[in-house]
Structure 1
Amino acid sequence: MDFKFLSKLPVPRSLLGRMLLLTLLAILLAQTLSSAIWLSQLRTTQLVGLVNSARSMAHSMNATVTYLRSLPLAYRPLVLDQMRSMGGTRFVVSLNDKPLVMDVLPTTQRKQAVLEAVDQVLRQSLGADVDLSVKFVSPQDLRIFNAGLKLDELPRSWAHFALTLEPVDPPVLVTQIQMAPGEWLYIASLLPQPYTSLEEEGLPALQLWFIVLSSLFLLMFIGLLVHWQSRPLKRLARVARDMSLGEDEVQPVEVGGGSEVVEVGRAFNTMRARISRYLTERGQLFSAISHDLRTPITRLRLRVELLDDEQLQYKFGRDLDELEMLVKGALQCVKDTDIHENIEPVDVNGLLDCLIEPYVLPHGNGRVTLHGRAASAYPGKPLALRRCMGNLIDNALKYGTNAHLRIDDNKQAFVLTVDDEGPGVPQQRLEQVFEPHFRLAGQQQGYGLGLGIARSIAHSHGGEVSLQNLRAGGLRVTLYLPRNVD
């Protein structure tokens, strides 16, 4: 199954937001499943209770039929009239000379179960061949007596108290049984509570409130827990950011939170101490190398000058030049990517103006053009940024004759693009040119470190340097520096 569509959904970026979203989805899924199971069991239980109530009602109807059959034919109408005069019973009973025709309500599962239960009990008691009909009728379509009178046309004491239940308008169960030729017993009644309406109810309001309140409380407590556990991670991220930007005094992260977070904090503090010690030792090492190598190289040059063989002198001099170039290149690489520099607001506009001033003529023409301005100072390392941007401009002028600079600055990032008019870089070499001492064919100037140093400085600021060949010819170098490093 392909789940790629999930990546397009709006998912929160924070740990708290994602935990709350996952918790909410889990709660909704669990509550939906549990509510569906509970509602299914409830409806099954209600259906069983409804069928039992219908059977009990059918036995009462059978008792009524048995009682009327025991009376002489002439006494039956008198007894029914006396019952109506006394206020009636739970049934509305009458004797008709034919079955009354009424509009029947559509059958549902519950109605069908009631009809089958009543029909089964009556046929078991009265005989399987008895002529009877059982159906549900709307109170508005109900007809009573031979004249087919409506419910509203009768005195309220005769039938209203037995067949109406305001404000509910429940269906009426009408049973008609043939007592003798030309004599039909008519029995109308409502089902007892709580099955009067026969409708399948959804989740009760109390159950819905329970689901909502329990979900809210669970989300609140999980939110507090995640917020409490994520504070040490935020402190760790802040210290890691300061360390990556080269802050001189990076304090150890305060250890706290769960056991896993505590272990991460301790490991980070150990790593911070080792990196700090390594950087210090590295600086001391290269300072010593620089000092130690200059003296023997100079001494060797003096001795080479004393040689009588010019050819041998030339070979030694060439080897010493190559050795000196390698030493200077290595020292320059370490020096230009050194992260030991304080972070402070850098006037990028002033910095670029100084870098391009030698190439801009008074009237605006020259080898370098600049479009756009930085909206505000950028928090970074001044000398490192100067080296980074200077290397990009120098490369554009060295290999592309002219350089066209553009600044795009907003609250999220500072972006500098440098376009040149050179031959560009083969597509398969776009990443390789960042490697130290790498040169394309025909390029023999410098140490081959400029782009690598620029990318290293960008990385130390949380940014990136990327290359792109232009369709019209030339190379575009993009320096991306985020303003908010998280």
Structure 2
Amino acid sequence: MSGPVPEARSRLGRWLPRSLLGRMLLLTLLVVLLAQSLSSLIWVAQLRASQLQGLQASARSLAHSMTASVSYFRSLPVAYRPMVLDQLRSMGGTRFFVSLNDRPLDMPHLALTARKQTVVEVFDEVLHERLGQQMDFTVEFVKPQELRIFNSGLKLDELPRSWAHYALTLEPLNPPVLVIQIRLAEHEWLYIASLLPEPYTGLEEQGLPRQQIGFIVLTTALLLLFIGLLVHWQTRPLKRLARAARDLSLGADVPPLAGGGGSEVVEVTRAFNSMRERISRYLTERSQLFSAISHDLRTPITRLRLRVELLEDEHAQRTFNRDLDELELLVKGALQCVKDTDIHENIEPIDLNQVLEMLTEPYLRDGRITLEGRALAPYPGKSLALRRCIGNLIDNAIKYGERAHLRILDSASGFVLQVDDQGPGVPQQRLEQVFEPHVRLSAQQQGYGLGLGIARNIAHSHGGEVSLLNLRQGGLRVTLSLPRSAE
């Protein structure tokens, strides 16, 4: 059950930005989008609620105006009603289009939405309240293209503009037209068409206005810009600290870092400067210590050898010489270990292809080594140290496996060198033990047993690693991994 969780995390990690700046900007963007979405939802809900209240009030006011017009026409004598309508059309600019028909006009009406249903309910309530419950009428919404006027069923565009266009058109929007047909008497229907007042003409629920969306985009962009500048300003000391730490691990002479950024970064910088001083002092003292040991031990060992030569007992001479050889071997091994792992060099771009060609040239001629792949770019490091590191790996492969195959796998993230030999391999329980000083798998082989340990120490000083793997087809694979620093 726990398998999919790490896999999902690894997939998520591949999509996340690697830098602190990128992750801060992504997190800020997600937080801003979440906050803006919630606030926009609340704002839209409140806006729609207030718009619905305004729509009900506007529809009620329009309904009262229409009922007043209906009451006025009902109060007129039947013979005067067409005359009054003609006068209203001739004057133009009336709020409604009103006509008298002998029957209700049949027009395709629009489907009722929530807002249209609200308007219809308000008109039903007001008309029944002001005109009586027995009043026969219909309330519908019609497209301007489907609108029919008069008994002949004329279209809106077929009428003089002074008759209807001022009251019923709002080009180029063409909003729905509210049509009310009220029965006044037998074969006498009062036809009233009107638009709802602004801003409810369209009757459609709108989302976020463009101004609101523009404001959200502008505030988000400004926020990301300022946070990006702030994080970049705060992370500059951390980048300097990372470069100084890497240079220090390679043994370079790193000057004290100047404090900068927040208080936490300043505290980390101070701690790094203090650690740099202690490490530098320790390395100096260690170098002096081993130089003194080298000087002090050579004299008594030489003196003891001279005294051994004066012994008459040959068995005692052999015993003493064997002990002195062992002591000299231990001293030389310790001094060589210190010498090979504590190399004071400047960091410079290294052409690893050239280094490998130089180290493998003696073996390429007789076919004991084959080389596959090339380094894509120079590697920043210590030239002499890396030459000794790779040389030790090649020498071990030839010494224990007679033949070796070198494979280079280089990318933007790091340089990898695989050295496959044809030897007996290393017992699984001793894969880590062979990196320890003076550990040799075969007593017949010459050497101090320091090659792999020195190679691993040099790799560690470059932030890399040396690992061992027994191959299924036989032999040992030694892998040197050197990461490339990300600027």
TM-score > 0.5 by shorter chain: yes
Label 1:5 to 1:408 Cα distance change in 2 as closer, same or farther (>3 A): closer
Out of 192, 196, 199, the position equivalent to 1:194 is 199
- 1:111 Cα deviation after fit: 0.8
What is the alpha-carbon distance in structure 1 between the residues aligned to residue 307 and residue 298 of structure 2?
14
Equivalent in the alignment of 1:476: 477
The answer to which of 302-311 and 382-391 deviates more is: 302-311
- 1:200 Cα deviation after fit: 2.1
The answer to which of 305-314 and 193-202 deviates more is: 305-314
Q: Residues 280-339 of structure 1, C-alpha deviation per residue, up to 9 Å, x if partnerless?
A: 111122223333444455555666677788777766665555544444433332222114
Label 1:147 to 1:427 Cα distance change in 2 as closer, same or farther (>3 A): farther
Out of 103, 112, 123, the position equivalent to 2:108 is 103
Out of 333, 338, 341, the position equivalent to 1:329 is 333
Label 1:24 to 1:196 Cα distance change in 2 as closer, same or farther (>3 A): same
What is the alpha-carbon distance in structure 2 between the residues aligned to residue 70 and residue 203 of structure 1?
47
What is the alpha-carbon distance in structure 1 between the residues aligned to residue 310 and residue 47 of structure 2?
109
The answer to which of 274-283 and 333-342 deviates more is: 333-342
Equivalent in the alignment of 2:146: 141
- 1:226 Cα deviation after fit: 2.0
What is the alpha-carbon distance in structure 2 between the residues aligned to residue 485 and residue 87 of structure 1?
78
Aligned letter for 2:12? Answer: S
Equivalent in the alignment of 1:423: 424
Aligned letter for 1:243? Answer: L
Equivalent in the alignment of 2:284: 280
Aligned letter for 2:335? Answer: L
Equivalent in the alignment of 2:467: 466
Matches within 5 A, 1:135-284: 135-247=140-252, 249-284=253-288
- 1:32 Cα deviation after fit: 2.4
Aligned with 1:156: secondary structure? coil
With the length of structure 1 as denominator, give the TM-score of the two structures: 0.87
Name stretches of at least 5 consecutive residues in structure 1 with no aligned partner.
none
Equivalent in the alignment of 1:451: 452
What CA RMSD, in Å, does the superposition of the two structures yield over aligned residues?
3.1
Equivalent in the alignment of 1:32: 37
Equivalent in the alignment of 1:67: 72
Equivalent in the alignment of 1:11: 16
Aligned with 1:173: secondary structure? strand
Aligned letter for 1:133? Answer: T
* 8 Å CA contact 1:235, 1:254 repeated in 2: no
Aligned letter for 2:79? Answer: A
- 1:76 Cα deviation after fit: 3.1
Aligned with 1:191: secondary structure? coil
With the length of structure 2 as denominator, give the TM-score of the two structures: 0.87
Label 1:93 to 1:227 Cα distance change in 2 as closer, same or farther (>3 A): same
Label 1:458 to 1:188 Cα distance change in 2 as closer, same or farther (>3 A): same
Out of 40, 51, 64, the position equivalent to 2:56 is 51
Q: Residues 426-462 of structure 1, C-alpha deviation per residue, up to 9 Å, x if partnerless?
A: 4554444333444448787544332121011012123
Equivalent in the alignment of 1:388: 389
Q: Residues 68-115 of structure 1, C-alpha deviation per residue, up to 9 Å, x if partnerless?
A: 232333333333333333336312222333222111111111111111
What is the alpha-carbon distance in structure 2 between the residues aligned to residue 23 and residue 297 of structure 1?
70
Label 1:23 to 1:122 Cα distance change in 2 as closer, same or farther (>3 A): same
Label 1:406 to 1:75 Cα distance change in 2 as closer, same or farther (>3 A): closer
What is the alpha-carbon distance in structure 2 between the residues aligned to residue 147 and residue 57 of structure 1?
27
Label 1:401 to 1:191 Cα distance change in 2 as closer, same or farther (>3 A): same
The answer to which of 396-405 and 4-13 deviates more is: 4-13
What is the alpha-carbon distance in structure 1 between the residues aligned to residue 379 and residue 149 of structure 2?
92
The answer to which of 27-36 and 255-264 deviates more is: 27-36
- 1:278 Cα deviation after fit: 0.8
What is the alpha-carbon distance in structure 2 between the residues aligned to residue 171 and residue 83 of structure 1?
23
The answer to which of 153-162 and 426-435 deviates more is: 426-435
- 1:472 Cα deviation after fit: 2.9
* 8 Å CA contact 1:339, 1:460 repeated in 2: no
